[in-house]
A and B are shown apart, each in its own frame.
Chain A
Amino acid sequence: MKNYISIRIGTFIMLLLSFTSCEEMMVGEMLDNSNENNFRVMWEKFDSHYGLFLVKDIDWDAVSASHLPLARAAKTEEELFSVLSSALSTLNDQHVNILTTNPSLGDYNSGHNGHIPAQEDYLFESVRDHYLIEYHEENENFGYGKLTEDIGYIHASSYNDNIAFFKKAMDKAMRALASTKKIVFDIRDHAGGSDNVSKYIAGRFATSKKLFMTSKKRNGPAHDNFENLIEWYVEPEGESQYTKPVILLTTSRTISAGETFLFAMRENDNVIHMGDTSAGAFTDAIVFQLLNGWAITVGVGDYRGADGKSYEGIGIAPHIYSINQKAEVLKGVDKTLEMAIGY
């Protein structure tokens, strides 16, 4: 009797331990990593999550009809990359990227229809080396200083750190620049980050509460399935606000949270927007991995200005245009900054 029970228990334990190799079976069957399936997965992710089909009037089904046969026929990674790039080029969206695991292919950006080219109209190093009389770098993406004793300068190339960092950094900047007569806020190489940081920093120049942006994001499989609209307001923030004139500088490389910051700052009465039209890519984007390991980024929202209009693919035009030429930039000359100083 004892042996009988022990044998049953022993057999049960052996069955139990055989479970240790069954995880894959219990998690589910995986799709075959074919070029066709990679295209399908990419297409379906955009179909279910991309937030701008209606804004850009894109027939995504037609893109599938024209490109799926090409994906089926693709024999190599290069050919697949070409098909995926071609499909995503129809979106004309700088938030849409393909990142490959193949060094010879690299990446693809839909808005630039290829690799992202070099920025030729601005170099921060020129500003720091030839124009600033002092500069305090809080981190590689944010710092403040002075162009003259009366003109302050703030540079931000990203809002990617947590908001606590920017609160402290702005407190320092505001205290250091409190006595200046105007500030040049330079976001000409701003690559994005947190909208809450954009809202906060713009609030350090605000005198009243104003709507600056609305956003809504996909919450279902149909192209018009969106969650409730969210309203974003700029309002006075922090221990003090700078209400003297501010010249905000942008280029066509000012993008994403740099542009939502632009939305917010333009609602402040003391801000003049100078430079070039911004990039025209506002929404949040998510990362999704394909079957072959490549990553795609998908914009999931529909962000609009306070006027209710979408500026996706268009950008925000400045009050005053000024575009630097590459030859001048290479010599360390920044005509746009000089215009801002003299304004």
Chain B
Amino acid sequence: MKTKIIGQGIAALSDAFTLKKEALEKVLAISFSKIKSYLLQAATASLKFSLLIALAIMALIFTNRAHAQQHEDFLLKKNQFSVEIGANYIKMVDFQYSPNMFQSLRKNVQLGYTNRLRKGIFSTHLNVYMGNLTPSSGLGLDYYGMDTDINGVETVDSISLKLSQIGFDLEIGYLHELKKLATSRTALYLGGSLEESFNYAPGFIFIGTINYGALNAKARFDYLLGNGKPLMFGLSVPLVSLVTRMPYHNSPNYPGKSGIAGFFTDNNHVETLNHFQNLRFSVKYHWLVSKKFAFDIAYQGSWFHYYRPEHLSQAGSQLSLGFTF
């Protein structure tokens, strides 16, 4: 995956800027084909209209307590499946590549399953995403080089650097209900999860590329609103993680081994919370349509930091829409 830079100025990078994301793009394009622009607009709008959204949610809180029993029955369903699509606006700095901040509006699709046990909830989800990266400051990424041919004719070549990221999260976990702290309207859960996550920048510039397997501590607080609708708050923090980043020299190249194999086998570190942070806070709202079906709206805020070999920091806000059945 990593190749030598060709020592010919602009031609050095032209073959390297190849974005290989056809497979994932096809899946997401099919999923998003009809409502993609709406979600992107919604995510961007949430930044501008967060106060309005907050007011709208507050209005929902004060509506009648209708269908309270139906919601309670829905929440207590043994098996639930969920499908969500969303947009995640992130800002990131990866000092292995640049001191500049980059931003991305990632599109994602998430599939989930929960199984309500007698004393808690087992859950698993798979989230896949992709998005372009652009400098937050608005810096252009068009690079220029002078080319001279054998007849002495000079031309200015240019190449536009297109950065993107693709990735996935796979998580499986268990939340134990603290029944002693429960009331008729609230429930508190504590537990953990195992997570595997991979974020990759296709092409030649591996900005933000990281893989980790983590043991997370998780908490969930459910609150049944006055109108009978449930609000679920979640918090996740990694306790111990196996983290893989590009090596210090950012150029894995080993005889007989592909770059990606070298990435996964040679640069792994076990880290605890003091060196690897991935704080995620979420709020989810079910809008019950029937006894067995609910629309979901969810918000997740995240902050991510890893220090090795150079600091990688990322913060994001994600808005998702979906349904649970």
Contact = CB atoms under 8 A, between A and B. Distances in A.
Interface of A: 2-3, 6, 9-10, 13-14, 16-24, 26-28, 30-31, 33, 41, 49, 51, 94-95, 97, 99-103, 105-107, 109, 111, 115-120, 123, 158-160, 163, 191-196, 199, 215, 217-220, 227, 230-233, 255-257, 279, 281, 283-293, 295, 297, 300-301, 326, 329-330
A9 B256 CA distance: 58
A99 B144 contact: yes
Nearest to B141: A293
Interface string B244-267: 000111110111111000000000
Interface of B: 2-13, 15-16, 46-47, 50-51, 53-54, 57-58, 61-62, 89-93, 97-101, 135-137, 139-152, 156, 158, 161, 204-205, 223, 225-226, 231, 247-251, 253-258, 281, 283, 299, 301, 303, 311, 313-317
Given A13-B283, A17-B51, A99-B13, A118 B149 contact: yes
B144 A292 contact: no
B54 A20 contact: no
B48 to A, nearest CB: 9
Nearest to B281: A16
Contact of B301 (A19, A160, A227): A19
A27 B7 contact: no
B7 A23 contact: no
Contacts of A255: 6-8
SS of A interface (majority) = mixed
Contacts, number: 256
Contacts of A119: 150
Nearest to A110: B7
B12 A218 contact: no
Closest CB pairs A-B (n = 10):
A289-B98, A285-B5, A293-B139, A17-B50, A10-B58, A107-B145, A23-B315, A191-B6, A94-B7, A217-B249
B145 A26 contact: no
Contacts of B145: 99, 106-107, 115
Given A30-B100, A49-B249, A292 B139 contact: yes
Given A23-B90, A192-B7, A106 B315 contact: no
- Tell which of A20, A109, A232, A300 has the most Cβ of chain B within 10 Å: A20
A115 B6 contact: no
Contacts of A218: 248-249
A144 to B, nearest CB: 20
Contact of A10 (B61, B136, B248): B61
A106 B144 CA distance: 5
